[in-house]
Amino acid sequence: MQVFSGFPISQGLAAGKIVFLGAQKAAVRQAVSPQEEQLRFESAQRQAVDALGALYEKARAELGEKDAEIFSVHQLMAADEDFTDLVSEAIADGAEASEAVRQAGEQCAAIFSAMDDDYMRERAADVRDVAARICRILNGEAEQTITEPCLIAAEELTPSQTVQFPREFVRGMLTARGAANSHMGILARTLGVPAVSQLPVSAELHGRTAVLDGFSGTLTLDPDEQTLAEAAAKIAAQQAQREALRQLISAPSVTQDGHSVRLYANIAGTDDLPLLRESGAEGVGLLRSEFLYLGRSTYPTEDELFESYKTVVQAMDGREIIIRTLDIGADKQVGYFDMPPEDNPALGLRAIRLCLTRPILFQTQLCAILRASRYGNVGIMFPMVTGPDELHRLKQALADAEDVLIARGERFGPYRVGVMIETPAAVFMSGELAGEVDFFSIGTNDLTQYLLAMDRQNPNLAPFCDPHHPAVLRAIRQTVERAHQAGCTVGICGELAADEALTEAFLRLGVDELSVAPSRILPLREKIRSLTLG
């Protein structure tokens, strides 16, 4: 038995046989003639474009427009003029068609790999995926399929592989490469299966039994009977606990002695609606609107944003939904934003700082949110605010968006305005800010890293980046007290909100709302209902 540590991408626990998906190797064959090889390539290219179109439609139906967008991008890559020219040049020099495609794919991938932007570097895998697809068609190879429950292993899982996996068979994913913002990570979390990267993955894993822990980021290879039995028992217990907690879906979040708190969900968009319906959420405390900008090659239009917001707002059926304005930058980079490299992105041009420097981008989103406010109970939340001066500029931008809609003859509904408290400056200015907004949401993830001056993305700092640090808890207390003095409600959003060790303390502080991942709502409700504050 061996245990390997990697990087957790998607949470969960799974056990089973490993199926290794190796890189496709071109069949050994000689070029017939440049003319015939060119015709073979053009035929395979057309088939690949058609297949990617079918994948787009399949992904859109099963996963939603956001996750399907990548296959539209792959279609463009497959038919790209520069890529096609590279293939044709190699064929004219005597290369066999699939070898020419492989060479061209590696040339294009190398260009992406050399880029500074994290998002653009991830696109190297997309180019290789497209080239491999054309090669498989040229070599008459069938697409790899999965026919029984398993753990999928690969050096790097590509989007088209991931979306084709039958959900009922895929238990987990393990890779040698892949970041949290890779398509593998995004789709794994959407599909609800554990995923771990940075593992020593090779063909030697194929057929071997393993336990994959997406919480700790570990892979236990060839587990003994006791380890396997313990994992199976944990998986069964987790499933049984989930089923037992379902009786609390409609129950109030009230302590034994009558103290109540609202339990809201953090979601990324329409893809999370099925999870939301089963979660027992009383509202949405954070709609991460930046996910509508990720995984695509162009800015979303106002109508695209509006339709997405409207769908989620209507699904809430009158329950509150708080939409956070765009928080791009720091750990969330988008290639087509064309943002200059920064030495310290966490302290750079992100969130409202970016929006205020790109007024058209900001106005497009604000107009879309305002239009959606007609269909339900909407709150608009600004991230990374540091003081009243910034807030005044943001509220003016909101008023300008209202004027745009009025001039167009479009209606919008009533809405609340709030800010995220996630910088030390916002904590110190919370009294002044509270008098200008309807609600606060304390973003504990960023607040912790900024208070402690530690990069929360750096795994080496994990032992030191303590969200229970007295400074963090003192900042939360001060913010709650000042907000309530001004009649402003306060929610806690982030990992700390789901920390049951602090639930009682938060309720004693008078926190009005806890906003957590949908899967954490029912366990948290159970904890609240067991408490007596006295």
List, by residue number, the catalytic residues: 183, 493
The encoded tokens of residue 340 equal: 């200059």
Q: Domain with 104 in it: what CATH number?
A: 1.10.274.10
Domain boundary among 178, 208, 237: 237
Domain housing 181? 150-237
Give DSSP secondary structure letters for 80-145: -HHHHHHHHHHHHTT--HHHHHHHHHHHHHHHHHT-S-HHHHHHHHHHHHHHHHHHHHHTTPPPP-
Q: Are residues 72 and 164 in the same domain?
A: no
Q: Which strands, in side-by-side order, build the sheet including 7-10?
A: 2-5, 218-221, 209-213, 13-20, 150-154, 170-175, 195-197, 7-10
Distance CA 144, CA 77 (A): 21
What residues pair up with 516 in beta bridges, in sequence order?
265
My answer on whether 113 and 225 are in the same domain is: no
End residue of a domain, out of 237, 268, 293? 237
Q: pTM here?
A: 0.68
The C-alpha atoms of residue 320 and residue 413 are separated, in whole angstroms, by 13
Question: What per-residue confidence (pLDDT) applies to 274?
Answer: 80
Boundary (domain end) residue, out of 138, 173, 189: 138
Neighbours of 278 (CB within 10 A): 14
In a domain, 170, yes or no: yes
409 & 276 share domain? yes
At 391, which helix (H) or strand (E)? helix 388-408
pLDDT per residue rounded down to tens, the chain (534 residues): 999 999 888 888 999 999 887 654 444 566 678 988 999 899 899 888 888 887 787 777 666 666 677 788 888 889 999 999 999 999 999 899 999 999 999 999 888 888 776 667 777 888 888 998 898 888 876 566 677 889 999 888 765 566 566 667 889 999 998 765 465 665 566 566 889 998 999 878 988 999 999 999 999 999 999 999 999 999 998 788 888 999 999 999 999 999 999 999 988 778 778 878 888 999 999 998 877 887 666 788 999 999 999 999 999 999 999 999 998 765 555 667 777 777 776 687 788 888 998 999 999 999 999 999 999 999 999 999 999 999 999 999 999 999 999 999 999 999 999 999 999 999 999 999 999 999 999 998 889 888 998 876 565 666 677 878 999 999 999 999 999 999 999 999 977 898 899 999 999 999 999 998 888 899 999 999 999 997
Rounded Cα distance, 421 and 423, in Å: 6
Same domain, 419 and 507: yes
Q: Within this chain, do residues 271 and 195 fall inside the same structural domain, yes or no?
A: no
CB 161: neighbour CB atoms within 10 A? Answer: 22
Let me know whether 130 and 165 are in one domain: no
Cross-strand partners of 375: none
Q: Examine residue 6 and state whether it is found in any structural domain, yes or no.
A: no
The number of domains in the chain is 3
Question: Do 80 and 208 share a domain, yes or no?
Answer: no
Contact 375, 413 (CB under 8 A): yes
In a domain, 11, yes or no: no
Give me the pLDDT at residue 479, please.
97
